[in-house]
Structure 1
Amino acid sequence: MNKTLLGLLAAAGLGLTATAASADVLSDIMDAGKITVATEMHYAPFDILEDGKYVGIDADIFAIMSEKMGVEVEYLDLPWQSILPGLEAGKFDFVIAPVTMTAERMERYNFSLPIGNATVALAKKAGDDSIMTPEDIAGKAAGSQKGSAQLAQLQAFSDGLETPADVREYGNIDEALADLAAGRLSGVANSLPLMGYAAVQRPGVFELVLPPFGDPKYFGWVAAGGDETTTLIAKVNEILLEMHEDGSLDAINEKWLGAAPELPTTMPEVQ
């Protein structure tokens, strides 16, 4: 098995080595024998930093992928707000943080096939009977992660309520969940897998509010836009399809979520 290099960097620009402009990013990766990928390791169950070790859905999928590619991996742990700008600046090769597929983003970046369900759901404090459906957040304080598609969907949902929610932004989702646990928020909105995982991991603290709200969404991984990354995305998608076929993708999701979501094997239409 290939050696994995774990680079834990607290912020963009801290010891990052820029990826030189190239006619073909995959060719450069294969020549170097190493791929540098960025994520935010505070987005359970996709990305978790546990006792100094990177684990989660993305970590498990990419461990198989890098082995099939025959390359070492350097993982960068960065704040979400710096990841897509860092990709555009050429500071790393690829993003394995789960990025919500939107029409605007798909015009700007090259996406992989879906790797997760990004439909938005609400978590509440356990035992809070004042919130039984997402609409019950009207007039109450709700939070999500700054710069995320889920924050935008929460704001749009709130704007459609008779009394809009007090929507608050957080640097990462753990901070929002901490405020929910402390009673400073009535709800936290993010992807259905993430909110469900939080409720399962802390059953006396959080509860999942169903149904989800907003349009169905998916997470993908991304490379910089342009022809120079099309072969990289093609290779990633080739391996993802193999993992669909051999059951390894379902097995990873079952490990972390208890069940495997139905994920498209072609690029979905997005809004």
Structure 2
Amino acid sequence: MNLPGTLKAALFGAALATLAGPALADQLADIKSAGKIITATDMHYAPFDMLTNGEYEGMTKDLFDGVSKEIGAEPVYQDIPWTAELPGLEVKKFDIVIAPVTITPERLERYAFSLPIADATVALVRAAGNDELKQPEDIKGKTVGVQQGTAQFRQLQAFGEKIGGITVKEYGTTDEAYADLAAGRLDAVAGSMPNLTYLVKNRGETFALFDKPTFGDPTYFAWVMRKDAESESFTKAVNDALLKMTDDGRIKTIQEKWLGTYTELPREVPAK
């Protein structure tokens, strides 16, 4: 049986495609094709993520608006409880978790991280009228609030054991912990230094940082993506955008707007 030349060529091409297997998926290509980036964050984590009169704002939004513009896709912002964000990312409910996530060795094994977006060193805040708590060691025997499922929670637990014991009370959001501290139901709240600095700056009549507020090793906040071949292109695009925004001064402007100061951040993802 003789086949026309064009039909032979088509059949040969189809056979080669079958042998080569399916084309590799590419998250960045899919995002650009869809024209949108699906994100997840907890919009109750000032100054990074806040709802003000029903509108989403904060340092995270300003940063990711810039990154999305560089990538060429519109961001879709979703308010998701923190404890559901990383599990949702793994099953591809969103493209990226833009809630500030502390980089830890355990998380690095499981997820791809962006470059750091802020300092995340754990610190302590007290009621403004409580002058007994000055050093981190002063929380021994006290009740300290912290957001559940965070790196700050684990660091607080370890520090409490080191100094002889504390009572740790977990909260779904930091706002709930701050409310209990203001009401006298807690002695202190642990959180990242930027969050607590912002809190005291805006509510200094109610809250005060410890004289020496931080404890533990310096850590950083970053965004989280899936750690697979499909997502490598998207992770690189996010990091390229952050480097460009660092070099042209946009990140400095955003940090100073929300944190009141600028901290130079690593240009590579820290190993721990």
After TM superposition, the score normalised by the length of structure 1 is 0.90
Are 2:190 and 1:185 aligned? no
Are 2:246 and 1:244 aligned? yes
Corresponding residue number in structure 1 for 2:60: 58
Corresponding residue number in structure 1 for 2:12: none
CA–CA distance in structure 1, aligned partners of residues 25 and 233 of structure 2: 10
Q: Deviations over 1:107-135 (max 9, x none)?
A: 10010000011100001000211100111
Corresponding residue number in structure 1 for 2:25: 23
Are 2:198 and 1:231 aligned? no
Corresponding residue number in structure 2 for 1:201: 202
Contact kept in structure 1, 2:125 and 2:213, CA below 8 Å: no
Corresponding residue number in structure 1 for 2:39: 37
CA–CA distance in structure 1, aligned partners of residues 32 and 47 of structure 2: 29
CA–CA distance in structure 2, aligned partners of residues 222 and 30 of structure 1: 19
Bigger Rg over Cα? 2
CA–CA distance in structure 1, aligned partners of residues 72 and 115 of structure 2: 21
CA–CA distance in structure 1, aligned partners of residues 39 and 227 of structure 2: 16
Corresponding residue number in structure 2 for 1:161: 163
Name stretches of at least 5 consecutive residues in structure 2 with no aligned partner.
Answer: 1-23
CA–CA distance in structure 1, aligned partners of residues 229 and 267 of structure 2: 22
Query: Which ranges of 4 or more aligned residues in structure 1 deviate by more than 4 Å?
Result: none
| Alpha-carbon spacing, 1:211–1:175, altered in 2? closer, same or farther (3 Å) | closer
Letter in structure 2 aligned against 1:173: T
The CA RMSD measured in Å over matched residues stands at: 0.9
CA–CA distance in structure 1, aligned partners of residues 260 and 136 of structure 2: 23
User: Within 5 A, what are the aligned runs for 1:59-208?
Assistant: 59-162=61-164, 164-208=165-209
Letter in structure 2 aligned against 1:207: A
After TM superposition, the score normalised by the length of structure 2 is 0.89
Report the Cα offset of residue 36 of structure 1: 0.5
Name stretches of at least 5 consecutive residues in structure 1 with no aligned partner.
Answer: 1-21
Letter in structure 2 aligned against 1:136: D
**What fraction of aligned residue pairs are identical, expressed as a percent?**
52
Report the Cα offset of residue 64 of structure 1: 1.1
- Secondary structure at 1:207 match in 2: strand
